Structure 1
Amino acid sequence: MVWSVIRRRRPAAGLPAPGRCEPACGRHALATERLLLFTPRTRLDVAAALAACADAEAQRWLGTQADRVVPDPGTRRALLAWRPAGDDGRRVPPRLAQPYAPGPDDPLFLVCVRRSDLAYAGALELEHRTGEMGGWLAPSCRGQGLGAELFRAGAALAHTHAGLATVRAGAEPGNTASRRALARAGFVADDGPPRHTLPDGREVDAVWHRHDSTAASRCR
Structure 2
Amino acid sequence: MVWSRLRRGRDAPGLPLPGVCGHRRHTLRTGRLLLYSLETRLDLAAALAAGSDPEAQWWLGWDKHIMTDPKVREVYVQLRPGDTDSLRRYPAVQRLLRHPVEPLSGEAVALIGVRVDDGRYAGFAELEPDTGLIGGWLAPHARGLGLGVELFGAAASLGHTHLGLRTVRAGHEPANTASARALAGAGFVADDGPPRHTLRNGREVDACWLRHTAPGTISRCRAAGRQDRRNP
User: Could you tell me the TM-score, scaled by structure 1's length?
Assistant: 0.88
Offset at residue 76 of structure 1 (A): 0.4
| Equivalent-residue separation in structure 1 for 2:159 and 2:188 (angstroms) | 13
- Which structure would you say has the larger RCO, counting Cα contacts within 8 Å and 6 or more residues apart? 1
Which residue of structure 1 aligns with residue 34 of structure 2?
A: 36
Which residue of structure 1 aligns with residue 228 of structure 2?
A: none
- DSSP 3-state at the match of 1:68: coil
Which residue of structure 1 aligns with residue 58 of structure 2?
A: 60
RMSD between superposed Cα atoms in Å: 1.6
| Equivalent-residue separation in structure 2 for 1:139 and 1:77 (angstroms) | 9
Offset at residue 204 of structure 1 (A): 0.8
One of 69, 73, 77 as aligned partner of 1:76: 73
Which residue of structure 2 aligns with residue 204 of structure 1?
A: 205
| Equivalent-residue separation in structure 1 for 2:102 and 2:202 (angstroms) | 28
* 2:36 counterpart letter in structure 1: F
Kept in 1, the 8 Å contact 2:34–2:115? The answer is yes
Kept in 1, the 8 Å contact 2:111–2:125? The answer is yes
Offset at residue 100 of structure 1 (A): 1.3
Which residue of structure 2 aligns with residue 162 of structure 1?
A: 163
* 1:15 counterpart letter in structure 2: L
One of 205, 221, 224 as aligned partner of 1:219: 221
| Equivalent-residue separation in structure 2 for 1:111 and 1:164 (angstroms) | 20
Offset at residue 58 of structure 1 (A): 0.4
Which residue of structure 2 aligns with residue 131 of structure 1?
A: 132
What runs of 5+ residues in structure 2 fail to find an aligned partner? 1-12, 223-232
Which residue of structure 1 aligns with residue 96 of structure 2?
A: 96
- Is the radius of gyration larger for structure 1 or structure 2? 2
1:48-96 deviation per Cα after TM superposition (whole angstroms, max 9, x unaligned): 11100001110111112323211x2220011122221654553263421
Offset at residue 105 of structure 1 (A): 2.5
* Moved segments of 4+, more than 3 Å: 85-90
**Greater displacement, 78-87 / 47-56:** 78-87
Offset at residue 215 of structure 1 (A): 1.4
1:17-39 deviation per Cα after TM superposition (whole angstroms, max 9, x unaligned): 234211xx321000100000001
Offset at residue 201 of structure 1 (A): 1.8
| Equivalent-residue separation in structure 2 for 1:63 and 1:17 (angstroms) | 34
User: Could you tell me the TM-score, scaled by structure 2's length?
Assistant: 0.84
